[in-house]
Structure 1
Amino acid sequence: MDKPMEHAWRGQTVMVVDDSVPQRNYLSGLLAQAGFGTVLQAGNGLEALQLLEGGAAPKPYLVLTDLEMPGMDGIELTSQLALRNLAQHLIVCSAQDPRLLEVIESMAAEDSTLSLLGTLLKPVRMEALMELLVQASAHKTARMAAAPAAWQPSVDELAAALGQGQFVPFFQPRVSMRSGRLKGVEALARWQHPERGLLAPNHFIPALEGSPLMAGFTLEIVRQVLERLKEWHACGMPALACSVNLSADNLCDRSFIERLQALVAESGVAPRNLIWEVTETMLMRQLSQSLANLGRLRLMGFGLAMDDFGIGYSSMQQFARCPFSELKIDRAFVHGASRWPNRHVVLRSAIELGQRLGVATVAEGVETEADWQLLRGLGCEMAQGYLLARPMEGSQLASWVLRERPRLKALAEERTAAGGDEQSFI
């Protein structure tokens, strides 16, 4: 067991809620083995709330609850724990239809106050419980960074930061699932704030959107991306493809598209080495002009990617009507797909759609080897996520490649002979 991760819960109070006495005792034993301190028990949701609200028990670090219970089921208990702020974290387990557990995960995706660490199918195995606890601890910082920022800068602060070159791109690798080789990167904006440190997009993108600064911001990020692509190529790396996010403001502005084309042409970087990422939501803003600009970008030789495919109401319709060259499957369908039948089906359908249309498929949010192997078996072309690498500065990419080469090759060690012809850095 990884000691630093273990300290996150060692000695903490935990509660098991289950109407079956043998199950309560079994789960309590697992939690004690995991290093928790006091293990409380309740037979259903009502009993759990009475214990927690009556002052008979301290606020637990974790509540592990079953779904199907008399009096108050696990779904209602989950809602009440969040509403009354009675637990720091939550794990839900069940022997019922796995889709019921997906209801809980969907609730948590829409409401961060649920503090769900994850869900487990019964019978709960110690290995699965530990994997969930360790993974939740490892990604706690990342989840906090992605939460809406309390502080939002003014337009004047953003303008000053833009003028002083404080916005920079970080790069997250995209890896071939067939060979384990680096195939490209995604550029992700960061703000090197002189006082607040390195800030994620949630601290500044909401304030930039809809402002006159958005076009200049995007062009500045693209300018730095182009410089980095040339630097990588000069030091012996191949011509990698880099994807860059475009905002709704960018996409529906004809003059912006012309400025973008001129910037790339002046750099000497081939348009095929740039992929513009857009979401369905962006397309719905001034749809006609957005479609026209997408068509123009494709005619210029750029790649186009539909980001977050599958989470919008009309993803399929928008994908069919636009000249996309790449389909990025949202993390919501990737993460845990090896365990959940519904996600597996959606994932398979998305990958088959890309294959039939001759469009590259990229899976976002790949965090476990189980999900990697499933995606690889389904024929997904590329993966991106914490299993492979976190976003990094451009100067770190070459050393990352050399350091991670053995691990990435091992992930794809059963690749087919066809994978041997791919041209890339590793």
Structure 2
Amino acid sequence: MKTKALALVGGLMAATALAAAPAKADVKIGLLGGVSGPIAAMAPAMIDAAQLAFAQVNEQGGILAGEKLVGVVGDSACSPQGGTDAATKAVNIEGVVAVVGPHCSGAVLAAAGSVTVPAGIAMVTPSGTSPEISGLDDKDTVFRTVPSDDYQGRALARTLKEQGYAKVAVAYLNNDYGTGLANAFKAEFEAQGGEVAGFAAHEADKASYRSNLADLSSGGADTLVIFDYGDGTGLTILRQALENGFFEKFVGGDGMKSDALFKELGSDNLTTFVASSPVGEKSDALDVFNEAFKAAGGDPDAIFVNTSYDAAFLLALAVEKAGGDKAGVAAALREVSNGEGEAILPGEWAKAKALIAEGKAIDYKGAAGDHNFDANGDVPGTYALFKIEGDAFTVVSEMK
């Protein structure tokens, strides 16, 4: 009996000792994407690219004291309410230390204003491009790895004018994305001597836009510029413009660079369509990402995949630099990508982690470029003009 009692006591003591050493908790970062809504076809590749960054972290020893880095996916639905709801769940229920996304500008503005800024949570959007994001009173917690539409709109206007487009009409979605891009484009196109013969906002998800198109074409422009989403209303507008012969040539912003166009309308009907889109600066970092993403089954040419990867990898570096302290992640973002320190390429987690542990400065060289954030959390960017050839988008020219 005495031996059994001692064994029982020993077993209880061992169990107590085990219970006193809790398992390491996962470190969570929110991935708030437009899983449903007008960019639903784009979102999966963007989320996959961010998940690749997290997988590389975990394959190379994990984050902080060997914890697993987990991407918590939420559907921001490309809407203000969806962004707020997804951010609320990620921050208050899941306990994320930072957020990648949301994907759409309206969702970014709403989620930041209602959730992440009050909570002091760092947010990096890979595709929220509205100029309004730059002016957020965000306590320096909102960043992006994609340039503002003020840059895209003006670059597109200059490029079109250089290529001989003299008179255009502009149809834009009545939301933060469409309005910001359209206003920047119009200002620059007219400054370059071009004529905007029609300029009108439209609401999403109507069955017919024929009356809108008729009004826009009445000014005599042969080119329609569409600032909308190719998986949503933009596709409907383009289809109805083609069916009714309202315009001869078509131009889209980055939201229109969607495979849905040639899948639904046929590439033969889109020979006069071009679209602007951000592209990674040619670099070793971009080559490294492209190879890794392709090896993981992804398409490196899909829109916003390199900016999504960079947003995720940057946040992982910042969390490591901040020692896991949520309140310190935003400041750490600026420290890990500011042009100073030893260069870190995509996927070089073990190297970065060791340097951070030694107290040495690092400088992340992103797949989409050097993300040296300005005072507003913005970055410069590189764009190109694309056309459709067969079942793919190919570059027509760079945009400056």
> Could you say which TM-score interval applies, normalised by the shorter chain?
0.3 to 0.5
TM-score, scaled relative to structure 1: 0.31
Structure having greater relative contact order (Cα 8 Å, sep ≥ 6): 2
